[in-house]
Chain A
Amino acid sequence: AQSVTQLDSHVSVSEGTPVLLRCNYSSSYSPSLFWYVQHPNKGLQLLLKYTSAATLVKGINGFEAEFKKSETSFHLTKPSAHMSDAAEYFCVVSENNDMRFGAGTRLTVKP
């Protein structure tokens, strides 16, 4: 069965600096990979998804992620953090109608 590991439970950056949230996955086949964001007291919102097309995926709010099969990684990046990016981020792997969530990474953005 597939699984996903988010390597950092908490990441703290200063406003205007780059963001890197790390995600490794394991999968038997060709998975679909997603990043979701959850702002405080809100539901989950899809940031971006990889579905075996281009390996560099662009999402909303300036986020992007690169699928690296050799490293089984799908790290989320953003060139310049904004205060509104403070939230919890979930990496998700899906195959054969089965979806697995990572434990989440809480992003803090300092002014």
Chain B
Amino acid sequence: EAQVTQNPRYLITVTGKKLTVTCSQNMNHEYMSWYRQDPGLGLRQIYYSMNVEVTDKGDVPEGYKVSRKEKRNFPLILESPSPNQTSLYFCASSLAGLLPTDTQYFGPGTRLTVL
């Protein structure tokens, strides 16, 4: 089954404790991205990657890191989480980017709470 998977689905942590949220897709997609969803703000893009070893900042990259060493994986790293990073996070992928012909497929989400 074609899908985007994220782990963990739920995470409660404390300020300053490094964490990684994994994202994996099995559709051989070139483009992957991370979003955060906050009430009243919709989804905002954190980082995206057009291909292996190619990453770029989205709208809200501060406090986050990403890497794209393999095509299928795109982990999101919070080196020193803070309470304002408490949010619902979505990973997404598409075949080649955000072209009109592309469709983004979203993972199930990771709900992160930073105390």
Contacts and interface: CB of A to CB of B under 8 A. Distances in A.
Given A42-B109, A44-B90, A46-B104, 9 more contacts: A9-B40, A41-B109, A44-B92, A49-B100, A51-B100, A90-B43, A99-B98, A99-B104, A101-B44
Interface in A2-40: 9, 32, 36
A49 B109 CA distance: 22
Interface of A: 9, 32, 36, 41-46, 49, 51-52, 90, 94, 97-99, 101-104
B98 A94 contact: yes
A99 B44 CA distance: 9
- Chain B residues touching A, majority SS: loop
Given A49-B103, A51-B100, A52-B100, A101 B108 contact: no
Interface string B25-62: 00000000001000011111100000000000000000
22 contacts: A9-B40, A32-B98, A32-B99, A32-B100, A41-B109, A42-B109, A43-B4, A43-B106, A44-B92, A51-B100, A51-B101, A52-B100, A90-B42, A94-B98, A97-B99, A99-B45, A99-B98, A99-B104, A101-B35, A101-B42, A103-B41, A103-B42
Contacts of B90: 43-44
